[in-house]
Amino acid sequence: MAKIVINQKWCKACGICYGLCPKGVLDKDDTGKVVVKNPDACIMCRICEEHCPDYCIKIGG
Amino acid sequence: MLKDIEKLLRQDKMPHIWCPGCGNGIVMKAMLEAINSTGIDTKKTVVVSGIGCSSRATGYMNFDTLHTTHGRALAFATGVKLAKPELNVFVVTGDGDGSAIGGNHLIHAARRNIDINVVMFNNNIYGMTGGQYSPLTPHGKFATTAPYGNFDRAFNICDLVKGAGATFIGRGTVFHTKVLTEMIKGAIENKGFSFVEAVSICPISYGRRNKMGTAPQMMEWLKENSVPVKAASKLPPEKVAGKILVGELYKEEAPEFTQKYDELIARFQKGAE
Ligand SMILES: Cc1ncc(C[n+]2csc(CCOP(=O)(O)OP(=O)(O)O)c2C)c(N)n1
Ligand code: SF4
Ligand code: SF4
Ligand code: SF4
Ligand SMILES: [Mg+2]
């Protein structure tokens, strides 16, 4: 299972990561900030990590 | 990867000031990735910026940095490079900073082929001051100063610096992050004036007024409206018209300014012996 490390403190709820994730791994909480919903589906493509403007996501630790 | 570049960020200054969904963080990350992967000496790396949202990047990058005055980053950077040609010098500039008030510095730095790597964060607007049009705002788009749509045509800024004499030119976008990083690497490797246009998104001062939707929708727009430059040459013109061409646009060899200057000094020192 891919290790997904989230820094929610820096997250600004822009929606880019969960908007671009091809596997529906990421979702938003009720404030719009990122949460990991379905970690088993992660294919470690790093699209989320590369496109998060706020340096909040690390894939693979 | 983020874990490799965290050391190049001033962690104590984070989170950064940019709005939710602003592309600036993505462009800055591509710069850090490129600097990290080329293995240049970070203690001999200087980043100079002008004024604008994008120019705030120097506050977060863990090198020797200068946050200067509006449009003048290249003038300061020219001084740094001439004083110490062994330094790796970068300029962070916005489309307003670099093509409007600083446009003259841009063409002349390109003409000199001085070894500076310019990354222009192009969000098509003056973001910091609330959305006035810049020379890179497309014709017809809305801005606070263009309430009926922009009358002017935009520069093709990469063509402009090519005409002025730049020796490496590339374009990437905040959607095409790998291409963007590759272009900045190409700029670092070129010994001469290098220019990378980083097409960015400003959901607040540009996107909203032009009804471009949310940050992820603006990302989708970039994806739909960009074509790799290599593919473009094989496509019919109507498929390329109005698209953003991404990739390496130009490269040539030419004498570099500080090297020529050092040669001149050496010539006269020899004469004085
Ligand atoms: C001499 C001077 N004129 C005008 C301004 C006001 N000003 C601040 S930022 C800016 C435009 C910035 O646009 P751009 O370079 O595209 O940066 P962005 O905020 O979009 O990243 C202007 C006109 C200034 N700070 N100094
Ligand atoms: S690495 Fe890819 S699949 Fe995994 S969460 Fe990120 S975007 Fe989704
Ligand atoms: S892309 Fe980054 S800032 Fe935006 S919602 Fe995802 S984690 Fe938060
Ligand atoms: S105004 Fe635009 S460019 Fe400036 S921080 Fe906000 S989104 Fe980014
Ligand atoms: Mg701008």
| CATH tag, A4-59 | 3.30.70.20
pLDDT in 10s for each residue of chain B, 273 residues: 999 999 999 999 999 999 999 999 999 999 999 999 999 999 999 999 999 999 999 999 999 999 999 999 999 999 999 999 999 999 999 999 999 999 999 999 999 999 999 999 999 999 999 999 999 999 999 999 999 999 999 999 999 999 999 999 999 999 999 999 999 999 999 999 999 999 999 999 999 999 999 999 999 999 999 999 999 999 999 999 999 999 999 999 999 999 999 999 999 998 777
From chain B, pick out residues whose CB is under 8 angstroms from the CB of A14.
20-21, 203, 214-216
Distances (CA, A) of B22 to B19, B26, B82, B89, B174: 5, 8, 34, 25, 10
**Would the CB of A56 count as within 6 Å of ligand 3?**
yes
How far does A7 lie from chain B, in Å, by closest CA? 10
The verdict on a CB contact (< 8 Å) between A54 and B219 is no
Query: DSSP assignment of chain B, as one string?
Result: -HHHHGGGB-GGGPSPSPPTT-THHHHHHHHHHHHHHHT--GGGEEEEE-SSTGGGGGGTBSSEEEE--TT-HHHHHHHHHHH-TTSEEEEEEEHHIIIIITHHHHHHHHHHT-S-EEEEEE-SSBTTTT-B--TTSPTT--BTTBTT---SPPP-HHHHHHHHT-SEEEEEESSSHHHHHHHHHHHHHSSS-EEEEEE---IIIIITTTT--SHHHHHHHHHHTEEEHHHHTTS-HHHHTTPEEEEEEEE-----HHHHHHHHHHHHHHHH-
Positive or negative torsion for Cα B119, B121, B125, B127: negative
Residue ranges with strand state E in chain A:
4-6, 26-28, 34-36, 57-59
C-alpha–C-alpha distance, residues B183 and B228, integer Å: 13
Distances (CA, A) of B218 to A51, A57, B29, B139, B202: 12, 20, 19, 18, 9
Compute the distance from residue B233 Cα to the ligand 1 centre, in Å.
36
The verdict on a CB contact (< 8 Å) between A53 and B1 is no
Return the residue in A34, A54, A58 with the most chain B beta carbons within 10 A, the one to mutate for interface testing.
A54
Which atom of ligand 2 is nearest the CA belonging to A44? 1
Domain housing B66: 2-272
The verdict on a CB contact (< 8 Å) between B21 and A14 is yes
B92: domain CATH number? 3.40.50.970
The verdict on a CB contact (< 8 Å) between B21 and A16 is yes
pLDDT in tens, A23-46: 999 999 999 999 999 999 999 999
The terminus-to-terminus CA distance of chain B in angstroms comes to: 53
ipTM for the whole complex:
0.97
Neighbours of ion ligand 5 (CB under 5 A): B 94-96, 123, 127
How far does B20 lie from chain A, in Å, by closest CA? 5
Q: Which residues have CB under 8 Å from B233's CB, separation 6+?
A: none
C-alpha–C-alpha distance, residues B253 and B248, integer Å: 15
Categorise residue B241: left if φ over 0, alpha if ψ from -120 to 50, beta otherwise. beta
- The alpha carbons of chain A give a radius of gyration, in whole angstroms, of 10
Closest residue to A16, CB basis, from B2, B19, B215: B215
Helix axis angle, B73-83 to B103-112, nearest 10°: 30
pLDDT in tens, B169-179: 999 999 999 99
Residue with tokens 């104590």: B12
CB atoms within 10 A of CB A5: 14
The terminus-to-terminus CA distance of chain A in angstroms comes to: 12
- How many domains would you assign to chain B? 1
